[in-house]
Structure 1
Amino acid sequence: MTKTTEGGSQTLGRGLKALTLIGESSSPLTVAELAEKLGIHRSMAYRLVKTFEQYGFVERTPSGDLELGARLGALARNASKSLQAAATPHLATLSDELQMTALLVVFDGEAAVTLSTAEPRHADATVAQRPGTRHPIDNGAPGRVIRSQLNPDQYPAQDYEFSYDEVIPGLTSIAVPVKLPQNKPGAIAVIYLSQELDQTQVALKLTAASARISASLGVRA
């Protein structure tokens, strides 16, 4: 391998690690914090972020915090079009019925990734979750559902998983498994501002929607 090829591989690896760090961070990162986590000079991190911004992979908030850009969401949507097409109408129905944001979450080999979302159409206020958002499978209700599919001996499956104030501060999530082709790990979930409700009833509606999505994909629930 030539030095040029090695350098290109290192740059690509650093870029992918940077996107992972930004996407999985529990709180927004600044460029300086990203540089520290990557172990590189701040000027190099600025150049890296500038390139990501040019291609829409990263956005900077007015305060200077980094977040994943809309381009990654578009790539995530295109990655599994048949799965998204099967899930979208059922997520929309579920979201309207519960007046909560509904999510389809899959495993990308490293983390839980939001593939598709639906927000209630007639709600006064909704909670947004951008497709392409990633978080570790040890955190959040959908992540733990996926974790139990990957390692059922260590993490036995529950009827549903519940989380509060984990992936997104101040939000609650309830999630159940969804059976996908080739036994790929997946979950459907709702996220909402904390309120008193019957979690079991919400889980039952999620389970029914999960079965409908699996049936649309030709997978036995």
Structure 2
Amino acid sequence: MSTLQTLDRGLRALDVISQAPEGISIADLARELDVHRAICYRIVSTLEAHLLVARTEDGRVRLAVGVAVLASRFEPQFSRDVRPILHTLANETHATAFLSAAEGEEAVVMMVSEPDDSVLTVGYRVGSRHPLTLGAAGIAILATRPERPDDPEPVRQARRDGYSLTRGQLERGAVGVSAGLRLPAGLSHAVERSVGVVAIDGLDTTSAAKAVTRTARQLERLL
């Protein structure tokens, strides 16, 4: 498959710039892209014209508001596509299905779906939050991060298994199973998410783990 070289360079430039929160000089960007500085200036000027990058007072290049606008348009699209997938997971496992995201040191519930055939379900509210180190959702997110010497054993176990399984950590009798979404290369700065299910006892954790990990891979393809 052929690619457009100039477009490819522009997109690679955005990726490089996104990984430099304090900005990057034209010289360093040209070196990263392996292009002449004059070409790099033209790439940056084009991205600037579309409000995707901006230059600071000292000439360093940073992401600009245009990137945030594009991101804001992606989230509603992602949410729309996720809802039916989450509802299928809830019905398959007969448990409350949810999508969580990392916010600082906490996991925040972003979306919830209840199964159609269950009378009693766990009340997991959108906006609920808890430490990343407690509950299947947060542990699953931590397991997608690079390994650290001080990782607690539940995170290590989740990394080995491909999912996190917790019992009674957030609510007595509640059993949770979650899997983290592995982000595409170059998106380590993006929102970290996990998908999972929670029920009060009676959850077939083996089947739930398979369903949750399969759903996680499905959501990764949306990303």
Give SS of 2:115's match: coil
Deviation of the 1:207 alpha carbon? 1.1
Aligned twin of 2:82: 87
1:96 to 1:84, Cα distance in 2 relative to 1, 3 A: same
Q: Distance in 2 between matches of 1:79 and 1:138?
A: 28
- Which of the pair has more CA radius of gyration? 2
1:96 to 1:107, Cα distance in 2 relative to 1, 3 A: same
Aligned pair count? 139
Give SS of 1:150's match: coil
Give SS of 2:160's match: coil
Write out aligned runs for 1:42-191 (5 A). 80-154=75-149, 155=151, 156=156, 157-159=159-161, 160-180=163-183, 182-183=187-188, 184-191=191-198
Give, as a single letter, the amino acid of the residue that structure 2 aligns with 1:176. A
Q: Distance in 1 between matches of 2:80 and 2:91?
A: 18
Q: Distance in 2 between matches of 1:143 and 1:191?
A: 13
1:138 to 1:79, Cα distance in 2 relative to 1, 3 A: farther
Q: Distance in 2 between matches of 1:79 and 1:203?
A: 28
- Structure 1: 5+ residue stretches without partners: 1-77
Percent of aligned pairs sharing the same letter:
25
Q: Distance in 1 between matches of 2:212 and 2:203?
A: 18
Q: Distance in 2 between matches of 1:105 and 1:165?
A: 18
1:116 to 1:93, Cα distance in 2 relative to 1, 3 A: same
TM value normalised by structure 2: 0.56
Aligned twin of 1:4: none
Tell me if structure 2 keeps the 8 A contact 1:84–1:115.
Answer: no
Give, as a single letter, the amino acid of the residue that structure 2 aligns with 1:162. L
TM value normalised by structure 1: 0.57
Aligned twin of 1:46: none
Residue deviations 1:172-209, cap 9 Å, x none? Answer: 10111123462432211100011263x23211111111
Tell me if structure 2 keeps the 8 A contact 1:142–1:187.
Answer: yes
